[in-house]
Amino acid sequence: MFELRIHGRGGQGVVTATEMMSVAAFAEGRHAQAFPSFGSERTGAPVVAFCRIADKEIRLREPIMEPDAIIIQDPTLLHQVDVFAGLKKNGYMLLNTNRSFEALGLGDFIAGRPAERLCTLPATEIGLKHIGRPIPNMPLIAGFAALSGLIRLESVVKAIGEKFSGKMAEGNIAAASEAYNLIKTRMAEVAHV
């Protein structure tokens, strides 16, 4: 069973991101469970959502405390929330920023962790470019698909197609595709190094 935790702020589509992740996994014939942290949080407040993916029925209902991966939708949370809590030693981490880990003071954190599993993505900018709104969730999901290989881009695209229509679907698919390709390129660079 693979366990993913997404941190973000109310209004950034954190809950939708885990839902889309589960829909994408479902499209690949897998079992998936997505659930929010259930706060009565308003726009801007820290939000956590969870997603489990497995090949058999998922019965577990506890929050994900030792995730295999985390996605951080807003780097300002780094100073406010213990976003890395319980992240497995070889876990994945995808951070929405146009800065480097070092610039964000995460040098100590990434040291000793597998570099090919840690990545940044300027998801807000990608969202702005394709959707016209600073919503980073779909680029991050697609970027995570590229980073982890857990789900395929086509499944993310399919999930977007089910959730959105018209221009919103087109924009989100374009954003997802750009993010996916960007991470793939970055990973190729890391592998090359």
Closest CB to another protein among residues 42, 132: 42
Closer residue to another protein in complex, CB, 31/113: 31
Euclidean distance between CA atoms 138 and 140, whole angstroms: 5
Smallest gap from Cβ 122 to another protein, in A, equals: 26
DSSP 39: -
Give me the least distance between CB of 51 and another protein, in Å please. Answer: 8
- Whichever of 17 and 118 has its CB closer to another protein, that residue is 17
> At a CB cut-off of 8 Å and minimum separation 6, what does 3 contact?
50, 51, 52, 64, 66, 67, 68, 69
3-state secondary structure 63-76: CCCCCCEEEECCHH
Q: How near is the Cβ of 69 to another protein at its closest, in Å?
A: 14
Q: Are 115 and 93 in contact (CB under 8 A)?
A: no
| Smallest separation, CB 64 to another protein (Å) | 8
Question: What does the binding site for another protein look like in residue numbers (CB under 8 A)?
Answer: 5, 18-19, 22-23, 25-27, 31-38, 40, 45-46, 48, 58-65, 80-82, 85-86
